[in-house]
Amino acid sequence: MATTRRIARRINEVFNLNANHIYYFYLGNWYHHLRDFPGILVDSNGYVCFNTINDYETSPYLQHGVRLHVRGGISSMPGYIQFTEEQLYILNQIVVNDVIAQEQINDQAERRPRNIDSIVRNSVLVREIKELRDNTCQICGSRLQIGPNSFYSEVHHIRPLGNPHNGPDITSNMLCVCPNCHKTLDYGFVEIDFESIQNIAGHIIDAQYVEYHNGNVD
């Protein structure tokens, strides 16, 4: 089960939102389709509620594709309800607890041996990409500051390495991302918008890997 689904359920319970169906995505721009109503979409600061399927299907702010897309994010919609300071504090705890739980599951799953040569080569490319991109996330544009002059980012392989995807370990298959977007991409929750990832000198993304990712979102 995707971590965002568990977070959505906790939010519904803890804040008594009484949704029959609820989705959470911190950026507020991509969701699965709501099927039961009242239905609620949540981002990292608030939520919007659709009382009926008609409200949902006729909203001019929503694009109903394979996935629901909200171009300006749900915070740009009339009727968006901002969480209170107290709710934001609780939401933060829900998200952090869920991330910790997921990390423990991943730690168990990822203990497999890797070839030393490939690890060394990979770490050079990873450092290069983070430097070229100035640790700025290619998905959400954020730059995570971890010290007075230091920033943190991660590198995501668009077409994953290893079975069954067998993506290549080359820079045109890499994205510089923040940890939140990295997890979201790993879970195949969002499509990558090829137009917005921005090719720069020294780091050109190959569209075939983006298409592969977008064909595998679940």
The footprint of Zn ion (CB under 5 A) covers: 137, 139-140, 178, 181
Measuring CA to CA, how many Å separate 87 from each of 16, 46, 147? Answer: 11, 9, 27
Indicate the residue among 168 and 179 with the shorter CB distance to Zn ion. 179
Q: How far is the CB of 192 from Zn ion (least distance, A)?
A: 12
Indicate the residue among 12 and 135 with the shorter CB distance to Zn ion. 135
Indicate the residue among 10 and 183 with the shorter CB distance to Zn ion. 183
Query: How does DSSP assign 119-144, residue by residue?
Result: HHHHHHHHHHHHHHTTT--TTT---E
Residue in 121, 204, 108, 201 with CA at minimum distance from that of residue 161: 121
Residue in 40, 38, 58, 56 with CA at minimum distance from that of residue 48: 40
Q: How far is the CB of 138 from Zn ion (least distance, A)?
A: 8
Q: How far is the CB of 161 from Zn ion (least distance, A)?
A: 21
Q: Output the CA torsion sign for 27, 29, 30, 36.
A: positive
Residues 6+ apart with CB under 8 A from 121: 169
Contact between 143 and 185 (Cβ < 8 Å) = no
Indicate the residue among 77 and 140 with the shorter CB distance to Zn ion. 140
Q: How far is the CB of 156 from Zn ion (least distance, A)?
A: 10
Indicate the residue among 58 and 145 with the shorter CB distance to Zn ion. 145
Q: How far is the CB of 85 from Zn ion (least distance, A)?
A: 24
Q: How far apart are CA 22 and CA 5, in angstroms?
A: 8
Q: Which two tokens stand for residue 127?
A: 């450092």
Q: How far is the CB of 123 from Zn ion (least distance, A)?
A: 21
Indicate the residue among 84 and 196 with the shorter CB distance to Zn ion. 196
